[in-house]
Structures are given as C-alpha cells and as structure tokens.
Structure 1
Amino acid sequence: MKENILGVQISPLNYEQLISSLLKDIDEKRKAFIVAINPEKIMKAQEDEQLKELLNKATYQIPDGIGVILASRLKGGNIHSRVTGIDLMLKICEAAAKHHKKVFLYGAKPGIAEKAKEELIKQFPGLNIVGVLHGYEKDIDIIRHTINEAKPDIIFVALGSPRQEYWILENMNTLYPMIFQGVGGSFDVISGNLKRAPESVQKLGLEWLYRLIKEPWRWKRQLELPKFLLRVLKR
C-alpha cells in the first residue's frame, strides 16, 4: 500500500520487491513507469498540480531522498530505506542480464549513452543493451522508430526531471518497452563523466551534503528539506 506524503504517493517497496514486481510486469506484458521522489519534487508539486498528477500517475514512486524517509517516520509510515534512481537502474540491469531481458538507453549528451553502455556491459556480463540514442535527437518519429525497432523490454530515459517523466507518460503507450524509468544524470555517473558521492556518504544518506560541497550554488535548493519536514509536521 502506497503512502501519501503531502499529496504525493510513495511506494514502500524495497529493491528486491521492486525487481520481482518489474520482472512480473515484463512477463505479463504490463506497462510500468518508475519515478524517483525526493522532497524537492514534493515541494514543487505543492504549487504545480500538473506535476503532482504526473508523479501520482507513475506505477512505482521510489523514495529517492533521505527527507522522504524522515517524513515517513514522522507520520509513522512504512518507508524504512531509500531506493535511489541510479541504484535501482543498476539492479534492474543486473536482473536483466540474469533473466535475458533487453535494455535501451535514451538520453544525455551525444556519446554519453554509448560510454554508459560499455560500462554497464563490463559490470554485468551478458547484459543485452539493444540500442542507445542521445537526448539531442528532436524528431519524435525517429526516436520512436529507433526504440521500437530495437524491441527492448526496459528503457532508461535520461532527459532530466520532470522532462523525462512527461516524455515517458506521453510516449509509453506507443513504444515497445514494458518498463520505463527516468534516470536523470545516471548515464553521466555510470560513464564516469560525473563522480558520485563515496559509498560511505551514500549509506549515511548524505549525498545531498556531498553535492552541496561540490556545487555550493545548490544551497537554495537544499533549503527545501527543512521546509518540507516542517510542512509534514504541520499536516
């Protein structure tokens, strides 16, 4: 049963449960749409009804943000651990290699998806990545044709949020894949173009602090976390 945090639905499933459910979706030919939820998105959704509707239309809203976990605890909820977008993507790729499911990478700058493909195949031998396409292609007919010709079971879309989620919702019913996940900058991280926080920092849920130190201009965005928790408490 999903939790409702300030009007946004959150899935309480952990990685193992999600992978099991996604493999079942593929086998039973059910379209599924994954979106990562963090406090910043929830706060934006308070002022943007269209965004809130978009987030709530997803099949799985993963709790990608320590603030979502804290909010669930404040409410006495059942979301106990983070499910980050990039880690879920990697676990899906691992399962795809094991269960012979086909993957497509769409988005990011030219050359990034190709490099991410190389790295993913190194990490998960046997992974069948049937196609890549950069995010600078504007012709929707070319995009649809390229994806549908490849016939993937799973597509990762790296166009930035919420653009990638709007794109998925608009196009998923005309595309071959069953599983759609918006993955933001994950191709850049996997390809080595961007460095992720050290694992010890990730485990503490302090990736936001690591990014703030690396990118101090983000400080205004980080103010959303205390505002978010205060609003949850008021509710």
Structure 2
Amino acid sequence: MKENILGVDVCGDTYEQLADKLLEDIEHGRKSFIVAINPEKIMKAQQDEELNHLLNQATYQIPDGIGIILASMLKGGKIRKRVTGIDMMLHLCKEAAIHQKKVFLYGAKPGIADEAKSKLEEMYPGIQIVGTLDGYEKDEQVIEARINESKAEIIFVALGSPTQENWIISHKDKLSPSVYQGVGGSFDVISGRLNRAPAFFQRFGLEWLYRLLKEPWRWKRQLVLPKFLIKVLKG
C-alpha cells in the first residue's frame, strides 16, 4: 500500500515485505526500481516536475527519513518505520546470499565498489557479487556489456541522486538485472571510507542531528524538515 505525500508516492512496506516482493520480481523476470524518499527530495519535487515524475516512476519508494514518518502521522497515514537506502541494500544482500541471487555494484570513485564488494563478502558469506564498475566509466557499450555479461539479477547504482535514478530509468529495459536500487554514498560507507552515524542516532532517526553536530555549516539544509512538515500540514 502506498501513501501520497505532497504528490510523491511512498511505500509502507517493511524491509522483509519488500525483500519478499523483490525476490518474487526476480523469479518472474519483472523489472523493479527502488528509490529512497526523504523530505529534501519531496521539497525539490515541488518545483521540479521531472523529478516528481521520476520519483513516482519507481516501483518501490522507500521512506528514508524521519520526516516521512512524521508526515504520514500528521496526515493520518500508517507508515511508522523508516526503510533507509543503505539498510535496504544490506537486507537485499543478505537475502541474495541466502537465495543465491547474483549482485552487481556500479558507481562511486575507482576502487570503492571493489572495497565494498570485499566487505559485503565478509558480512554475507556465500554472496555472489558477480561484477563491479566505477562511476567514472563513460563508455555506454562497456557499461552495458559488463553488466549483461555478469548475468546479475540485482544491481546497486551509486551515482548520486537524481543521476542514478535517471540512469536506472534509461537503462533498465536493456540490462539483465531485475532489481535496481540507487544507493548514493552507500559504497563509501560499506567500504569503510565514510563513517555512518552511531547506532543511537540511527535508531531514533537522528542522523540529521549527527551530521549537523559534525558539520554545523549544514544548518541551512536542515531547515528543509520544518518547512516540509508545515507544507504537509497546510496540504
């Protein structure tokens, strides 16, 4: 079941429910596209029709951000748990290892996807990561050939948003994978190059506060959340 928040669809499924649906999509050869939704993206989509259309084209829009939970509560919706982009990726990797589904990592700076591959192989013994490719490769034929030759069923795309989502939309119908997820800087975090907020901040949806404490100059960006919630209330 999806809820619509200021014109953008958001799924209410848990990690487990989404994983079940995605495994079913793979079995039936259906193309699935996962996009993470947060208040910043929704606010940008208010002024950008193309972005709005792009977000709503996804098969599954996951509620990545405490602001989405608050918005759902304010509107009488039922979304009560976040599904973050990186945790969705990790949950899918766990399921891929269990069900022997092939995974491809595409994007980030040279070497990062390979480092993320090594870490994921440690975390999920038996996982089949059948290929990696950095985001600096510009030859479309090389990119498509590498992905298709790998026979991957799940691909994680780390090109930054909305570049990665646009790439997925324009390429998914000519590539072998069934499941596509844009994962932003997740390879950097998994590889250990970038630190994630401590578990306490994650548990209470306070990553934004952790980032603000670490990088106080980001305070203007944090104003998006109250503006978003006021707009939701008015809407």
Q: TM-score, with normalisation over the residues of structure 2?
A: 0.99
Aligned residue identity for 1:234: K
1:221 Cα deviation (Å)? 1.3
Q: Equivalents in 2 of 1:176, 1:214: separation in Å? A: 41
Aligned residue identity for 1:78: K
1:145 Cα deviation (Å)? 0.6
Q: Equivalents in 2 of 1:163, 1:121: separation in Å? A: 27
Matched, 1:167 2:157: no
Which residue does 2:147 correspond to in 1? Answer: 147
Which residue does 1:84 correspond to in 2? Answer: 84
SS where residue 135 of structure 1 aligns?
A: coil
Give CA-to-partner distance per residue, 1:174-207, whole Å, 9 cap, x none: 1000000000000000000000011111001100
Q: Equivalents in 2 of 1:36, 1:117: separation in Å? A: 22
Which residue does 1:109 correspond to in 2? Answer: 109
SS where residue 110 of structure 2 aligns?
A: coil
Which residue does 1:228 correspond to in 2? Answer: 228
Which residue does 1:200 correspond to in 2? Answer: 200
1:216 Cα deviation (Å)? 2.3
Gaps of 5+ in 1: none
Q: TM-score, with normalisation over the residues of structure 1?
A: 0.99
Q: Equivalents in 2 of 1:225, 1:232: separation in Å? A: 11
Q: Equivalents in 2 of 1:222, 1:162: separation in Å? A: 19
SS where residue 137 of structure 2 aligns?
A: coil
Q: CA RMSD in A?
A: 0.6
Aligned residue identity for 2:69: I
The range that moved more, 216-225 or 173-182, is: 216-225
Give CA-to-partner distance per residue, 1:81-104, whole Å, 9 cap, x none: 000000000000000000000000
Q: Equivalents in 1 of 2:160, 2:232: separation in Å? A: 26
Which residue does 2:45 correspond to in 1? Answer: 45
Matched, 1:182 2:182: yes
1:211 Cα deviation (Å)? 1.1
Aligned residue identity for 1:115: E
The range that moved more, 208-217 or 162-171, is: 208-217
SS where residue 77 of structure 1 aligns?
A: coil
Which residue does 2:2 correspond to in 1? Answer: 2
Aligned residue identity for 2:197: A
1:135 Cα deviation (Å)? 0.3
Instruction: List structure 1 runs of 4+ shifted beyond 4 angstroms.
Output: none
Aligned residue identity for 1:34: I
1:223 Cα deviation (Å)? 0.7
SS where residue 161 of structure 1 aligns?
A: coil
Gaps of 5+ in 2: none
The range that moved more, 209-218 or 131-140, is: 209-218
SS where residue 228 of structure 1 aligns?
A: helix
Aligned residue identity for 2:59: T
SS where residue 142 of structure 1 aligns?
A: helix
Query: Quick one: percent identity of the two aligned structures?
Result: 68
1:46 Cα deviation (Å)? 0.1
Matched residue count: 235
Aligned residue identity for 1:2: K
Aligned residue identity for 1:165: E
